[in-house]
């Protein structure tokens, strides 16, 4: 059992190291990074897993998940983009990734987020309820393999009438009390 805790500002350096280790140091070339540039990740949806016995290890970071706000289509309908999610190679396959995803999607739903997109391996994300985003009329800037681009409604019907290109968010990232962009 690996406890999940909220990411702290002090975790940032260890998270960068973990992401370099799991995705490679050229990860910033990926299309999703264009959508993250200049946009802060959603703090209430950022979680980590640490080694349990901090006396033995100094509390090594074992896993991390973050989300970014995005806008969908011409109306830039608010949505969240899952990722990156990463688990230290020594600890992969022990359920940490799934636990981080379930925990954060539950938090996102409770906070009132309505739509979640991601670019990732279909077989891994399908069991959570993600389906083809292209089939729902969504598009991703740059070149992304169609089957890796996925979407899930956190609120049933949230995708009704929503289609088009994913972009940076125009409105407040907060799901409640949103104001229209000027
Ligand atoms: C992908 C990742 C986050 C999964 O975390 P994890 O803690 O290792 O995964 P879990 O223990 O929760 O789940 C393991 C299961 O997922 C499967 N799985 C892991 N990565 C997968 C992938 N990319 N595609 C399909 N299935 C995958 C495993 O085969 C295993 O299946 P099983 O339960 O049937 O044996 C982790 O392996 C990782 O950090 N990988 C490198 C970074 C990365 O690719 N992240 C994004 C994935 S798109």
pLDDT of 181: 37
Let me know if residue 181 belongs to a domain.
no
Let me know if residue 124 belongs to a domain.
yes
Let me know if residue 72 belongs to a domain.
yes
Residues with a CB atom less than 6 Å from ligand 1: 22-23, 85-87, 92-98, 120-121, 123-124
Q: What is the pLDDT along the chain (182 residues), one digit of tens a residue?
A: 789 999 999 999 999 999 999 999 888 888 888 999 999 999 999 999 998 765 554 578 999 999 999 999 999 999 999 999 999 999 999 999 999 999 999 999 999 999 999 999 999 999 999 999 999 999 998 877 888 999 999 999 999 999 999 999 985 555 654 544 33
Let me know if residue 179 belongs to a domain.
no
Report how far ligand 1's centroid is from the alpha carbon of 97 (Å).
6
Residue 57 sits in a domain whose CATH number is 3.40.630.30
Structure token digits, residue 179 = 């104001």
Count of the separate structural domains present in the chain: 1
Give the closest residue (by CA) to ligand 1 atom 33. Answer: 93
Q: In this structure, what are the phi and psi dihedrals at residue 56, rounded to the nearest 5 degrees?
A: -80, -30
**95 and 52 Cβ atoms separated by less than 8 Å:** no
Give the closest residue (by CA) to ligand 1 atom 15. Answer: 93
Report how far ligand 1's centroid is from the alpha carbon of 180 (Å).
38
- Give residue for tokens 């264009």: 34
Ligand 1 atom having least distance to the Cα of 100: 12
Let me know if residue 178 belongs to a domain.
no
Let me know if residue 149 belongs to a domain.
yes
> Computed over its alpha carbons, how large is the radius of gyration of the chain?
16
What one-character-per-residue DSSP string does 51-116 give?
A: -S-HHHHS--EEEEEEEEEEEETTTTEEEEEEEEEEE-GGGTTSSHHHHHHHHHHHHHHHTT--EE
Report how far ligand 1's centroid is from the alpha carbon of 176 (Å).
32
Which of 4, 31, 93 best tests ligand 1's pocket when mutated (most atoms within 8 Å of CB)? 93
Q: How far is CA 65 from CA 61, 161, 168, in A?
A: 12, 29, 19
Beta bridge partners of 79: 70
Quote the domain boundaries for residue 83: 4-167
């Amino acid at each position: 059992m690996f406890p999940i805790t909220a990411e702290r500002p002090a975790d940032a350096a260890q998270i960068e190291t973990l992401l370099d280790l799991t995705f490679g140091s050229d990860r910033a070339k990926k299309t999703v990074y264009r959508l993250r540039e200049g946009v802060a990740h959603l703090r209430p949806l950022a979680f980590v897993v640490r080694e349990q016995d901090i006396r033995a290890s100094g509390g090594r970071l074992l896993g991390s998940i973050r989300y970014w706000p995005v806008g969908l289509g011409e109306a830039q309908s608010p949505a969240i983009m899952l990722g990156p999610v990463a688990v230290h190679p020594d600890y992969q396959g022990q359920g940490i990734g799934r636990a981080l995803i379930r925990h954060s999607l539950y938090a996102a739903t409770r906070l009132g987020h309505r739509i979640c997109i991601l670019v990732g391996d279909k077989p891994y994300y399908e069991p959570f309820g993600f389906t083809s985003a292209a089939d729902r009329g969504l598009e991703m800037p740059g070149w992304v393999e169609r089957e890796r681009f996925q979407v899930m409604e956190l609120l049933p019907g949230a995708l009704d009438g929503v289609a088009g290109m994913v972009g940076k968010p125009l409105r407040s990232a907060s799901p409640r009390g949103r104001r229209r962009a000027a």
